[in-house]
Amino acid sequence: MAETTIYVRDRFLAPEAPPVSDSSVIGWMRRNLFASWSDGALTILAAAALAYFLPAAINWLFVSAVWTGADRTACLTVEQGGQLPAGWSGACWAYVGDRFVQFMFGSYPRDELWRPLTVVVLFVALLVPLLIPKVPRKGLNALLLLVALPIVSYVLLLGGWFGLRHVETSLWGGLMVTLIISFVGIAVSLPVGILLALGRRSEMPIVKTACIVFIELIRGVPLITVLFMASVLLPLFLTPGNNIDKFLRALIGVSIFASAYMAEVIRGGLQAIPKGQYEAADALGLNYFHKMTFIILPQALKLVIPGIVNTFIGMFKDTSLVTIISMYDLLGIVKASFGDSGWITPVTPLTGLIFAGFVFWIFCFSMSRYSAFVERRLDKSQTR
Amino acid sequence: MALADTRTGSGDPPKVSLLYNPAVRRGVFQVLTLVVIVWVIWYAWHNAAQNLARANMTAGFGFLNSRAGFDIAQSLIAYTSDSTYMRALQVGLINTLVVAAAGIVTATIVGLLIGTGRLSHNWLIARLCTVYVEIFRNIPPLLVIFFWYLGVLALLPSIRSIFQHLEEDPDAVFFISNRGIYMPAPVFGEGFGLVVAAFALGVVAAIAFTLWANARQRATGKRPPVARINLALILLPPLAVFLASGRPLSFDYPVPGSFNMRGGMVVGPEFLALYLALSLYTASFIAEIVRAGIRGVPGGQTEASYALGLRPRQATRLVVLPQALRIIIPPLTSQYLNLIKNSSLAVAVGYADLVAVGGTILNQSGRSVEIIAIWMLIYVSISLVTSLFMNWFNAKMALVER
């Protein structure tokens, strides 16, 4: 016992050096860009690709782009009959500037442009408060936006009443048509989609079957075939001699299509509501209508707001398909302008498509950001 | 006693007025729906019959056997303008299936890469992948198709400059022009069937070997080198047969004709534009699905598999991926269906898919009801078959519970 010596340290060790600071730029790069050999190789490859393509793209889009000019000669090289040096290539923004009003409103009479502009102002004035969660009176606001505004816009845009000149829908075009079609599609698809979703979950076999057949048939086929159906079959199925407006046909086609998709989104929300909510409503003695409008739908719709916004985004992109049934939405009118003899140059198509793509992108991106914002807000209300 | 009083009504059902009887209400609603549906169908049918009679037309599918009279540039089966409408529709269907299949494969691969790239620890790669997803997700696919067709592929060198290039370099066999990509076409000689048979045999052998290897691993805990042996089993037999049978494969090279290249194999700009646009557009959605799937697997699963001594690749393959797939497959299915449906945008650039061919027939013969019925039938069937397959795959991957 006595022989065992117990080890006792009698001296302090010198302190170790502090860990290498990781907050420096080099430390950050080591962690995030060059964590391993393969990582470093990937980084260098990606950086090289960026260094190669990004300056070229910026140069094409902005530096050597043509910003002013009256016709195509502004965007042609010497050998093509213009004044630019040989081998030049760049965006022709002069063309977009020249055609801008057409891209926005189509062939809408130029002295009547205040009418679509008024609609735009009203639309923004009603939409913005609806999107800001803190602003009160959402119900009234939605009613104005979804019921009153369409009526006012219809009178204003089409004319023929109150001394307004009648403007045929064949003159409408550009972004205006894209927005009208997607807005009408959304405004129609919400109520119809709710009805279809309720019908699909109903216990009445005939109603249920009818809703399932409609939803699955429309969801199973491409939008183009639905548009063809609306534009070719609709006149055939109505009383002989009818002359149904082409624009209206496209609206009907898009609305049918959007309704089927909206129904499935809303059904997802209905399924997510716990059974107890239905039973509680029954226990309170509410009838079907009251049960749905006061208990189930408010919760279900709130749950699927992100899904609804995603359907909106999809619809907004899908409206570009009316180009194929020869209507002039934003994409259609940009594409039609490529054949315009005043602006035929090799760079016109690319410039026009980049412009149209940018406009579509702005709308869709802001909608998806808004959807993400709502999703975060809903999440917060779930976690107390 | 009080208890008995409340139960007095238990003998016969409570008297409810007819207006509030749920069964009666349900019946009335159903009859009303049925009446409306029947009336709409009858109304449309009646008007269509009248409209057709006015245009001196009859309904029916008999016209499918008459001569088409139009050419189709891209056809994988024998077709001339003397073929029937039926044949033309078959060409269109095959073209739809080809571009959809090619698009699905490419979109899945690109989407997988981009989706995992977004989760990478590498800051630059993750940002680049995010930019890709945010750009392509928010632009209409039709615009992307036009972008490739009118903006990029139309700017490629013309046929004339290819001819010039050929004069300088007569040995060139692969050309990229604004009329498509020209490359040598393989010509299969006699006896190539044997090579294909050897390949099929190799695949069967590889599957059998994998099953045996799995059984052996379960019995002994040792795993044979499956990947290497399978590769050899699949590649070596066809190679040996190919060499032994005297290389029954030659190439048909594209040569300059009077206005265009002759011979060889050509991939048209219409197909390329559609294929690239569909793949890149859908890839951005698949990337998001893959990302959500991988993030849906708790980190503890990876840590647990490391604790069990698995290597990172094994952990990914055996633990993370099977669980991620369960989250990924259902939304992936709907993306595949979307891609198939979006392939109908072919009509915008003149790629002869089902809708484009059908549209031509519709304009020529005026048979709108029949053509649209055929479209709907075929697309709904394709969607159904795809859903069934993916549901089967999903069920195979699903969690096996007691």
Sign for the CA dihedral angle at A246, A249, A253, A259 comes to: positive
DSSP reduced 3-state for B41:
helix
Domain enclosing residue B271, as ranges: 85-143+267-397
Arithmetic mean of pLDDT, B371-388: 88
- Asked whether residue B72 is assigned to any structural domain, the reply reads no
- What residues of chain B lie within 8 A of the CB of A205, using their CB? 30
Percent of chain B with pLDDT over 70: 93
> Which residue in the block uniquely carries the two structure tokens 């238990």?
B10
H/E stretch holding A297: helix A297-303
Q: State whether residue B59 sits within 8 Å of chain A by CB.
A: no
- Asked whether residue B385 is assigned to any structural domain, the reply reads yes
The number of beta carbons lying within 10 Å of the beta carbon of residue B18 is: 8
User: Among residues A220, A246, A223, which one has the least CA distance to residue A234?
Assistant: A246
- Asked whether residue B166 is assigned to any structural domain, the reply reads no
The pLDDT confidence band at residue B12, using thresholds 50, 70 and 90, is low
Q: Give the C-alpha separation, B77 to B357, whole Å.
A: 14
Q: Give the C-alpha separation, A322 to A331, whole Å.
A: 9
CATH superfamily entry for domain A97-108+167-382: MetI-like (1.10.3720.10)
- Comparing B13 with A278, which gets the higher pLDDT? A278
pTM listed for this prediction: 0.84
For testing contact with chain A, the best of B33, B34, B116, B383 (most A CBs within 10 A): B33
Burial B276-315 (b: 16+ CB within 10 A, else e): bbbbbbbbbbbbbbbbebbeebeeeebeebeeeebeeeeb
DSSP reduced 3-state for B77:
coil
**What pLDDT was estimated at residue A382?**
53
Q: Which residue of A has its CA nearest to B337?
A: A220
- Asked whether residue B384 is assigned to any structural domain, the reply reads yes
Give all strands of the β-sheet with B180-183 in edge-to-edge order.
B175-177, B180-183, B265-267
Look at A221 and B124 and tell me if their CB atoms are within 8 Å: no
Question: Closest partner residue to A42 among B26, B48, B125, by Cβ?
Answer: B125
**What pLDDT was estimated at residue A148?**
84
Task: Write the DSSP symbol of residue B251.
Answer: E
A81: phi > 0 → left, psi -120 to 50 → alpha, else beta; which?
Answer: left
Q: Give the C-alpha separation, B394 to B304, whole Å.
A: 25
**What pLDDT was estimated at residue A147?**
83
User: Among residues B326, B325, B340, which one has the least CA distance to residue B387?
Assistant: B340
Arithmetic mean of pLDDT, B307-327: 87
Task: ipTM value, please give it.
Answer: 0.84
Average pLDDT, chain B: 83
**What pLDDT was estimated at residue B214?**
87
Q: State whether residue B380 sits within 8 Å of chain A by CB.
A: yes
**What pLDDT was estimated at residue B284?**
94
Look at A350 and B151 and tell me if their CB atoms are within 8 Å: yes
**What pLDDT was estimated at residue B1?**
43
- What residues of chain A lie within 8 A of the CB of B34, using their CB? 206
Residue by residue, pLDDT tens for chain A (384 residues) are 556 777 888 888 888 887 766 677 777 887 778 878 888 888 899 999 999 999 988 988 888 888 888 777 778 887 777 777 877 888 888 888 888 888 888 888 888 888 888 888 988 888 888 888 888 887 788 888 888 888 888 888 887 777 778 878 888 888 989 999 998 998 899 899 999 999 988 888 888 899 988 988 898 899 999 998 888 888 888 777 677 888 888 899 999 999 999 998 998 888 888 889 989 999 998 888 899 989 888 888 888 888 888 888 888 998 888 888 878 889 888 888 888 888 888 888 888 899 999 999 999 999 888 888 887 877 765 554
- Domain CATH for B319: 1.10.3720.10
Q: What is the CA radius of gyration of chain A?
A: 30
Q: State whether residue B330 sits within 8 Å of chain A by CB.
A: no
Residue-wise DSSP of A196-208: HHHHHT-S-HHHH
Look at B124 and A46 and tell me if their CB atoms are within 8 Å: yes
DSSP reduced 3-state for A329:
strand
Give pLDDT tens digits for A16-30.
887 766 677 777 887
pLDDT for residue B211 is more than 80: yes
- Residue B251, strand partner residues: B186
- Asked whether residue B239 is assigned to any structural domain, the reply reads no
The pLDDT confidence band at residue B62, using thresholds 50, 70 and 90, is confident
For testing contact with chain A, the best of B24, B138, B339, B362 (most A CBs within 10 A): B138
Question: Closest partner residue to B138 among A206, A220, A360, by Cβ?
Answer: A360
Residue-wise DSSP of A174-235: BHHHHHHHHHHHHHHHHHHHHHHHHHHT-S-HHHHHHHHHHHHHHHHS-HHHHHHIIIIIHH
Q: What is the CA radius of gyration of chain B?
A: 30
For residues A330 and A175, the answer to whether their CB atoms sit within 8 Å is: yes
Nearest chain B CA: its distance from A353 CA (Å): 6
Q: Which residue of B has its CA nearest to A339?
A: B150
Arithmetic mean of pLDDT, B35-46: 89
C-alpha distance from residue B38 to each of A23, A202, B42, B43, B150 (Å): 73, 20, 6, 8, 47
Residue-wise DSSP of A79-94: GGTSSBPTT----BHH
- What residues of chain B lie within 8 A of the CB of A54, using their CB? none
- Asked whether residue B35 is assigned to any structural domain, the reply reads no
User: Among residues A261, A323, A90, A346, which one has the least CA distance to residue B143?
Assistant: A323
User: Among residues A243, A139, A255, which one has the least CA distance to residue A196?
Assistant: A255
**What pLDDT was estimated at residue B2?**
46
Our count of domains for chain B comes to 1
For residues B248 and B189, the answer to whether their CB atoms sit within 8 Å is: yes
- Asked whether residue B319 is assigned to any structural domain, the reply reads yes
Give pLDDT tens digits for B149-182.
888 887 777 777 777 777 777 777 777 777 777 8
Q: Give the C-alpha separation, A86 to B214, whole Å.
A: 66
Q: Which residue of B has its CA nearest to A30?
A: B122
pLDDT for residue B251 is more than 90: no
The number of beta carbons lying within 10 Å of the beta carbon of residue B174 is: 11
- Asked whether residue B198 is assigned to any structural domain, the reply reads no
- Residue A172, strand partner residues: A106
Q: Give the C-alpha separation, B156 to B4, whole Å.
A: 93
Which positions ≥6 away from A201 have C-beta within 8 Å?
A208, A267, A270, A271
Strands B261-262 and B255-256: antiparallel
- Comparing B401 with A119, which gets the higher pLDDT? A119
Q: Give the C-alpha separation, B179 to B156, whole Å.
A: 9
Question: Closest partner residue to A232 among B50, B54, B368, by Cβ?
Answer: B368
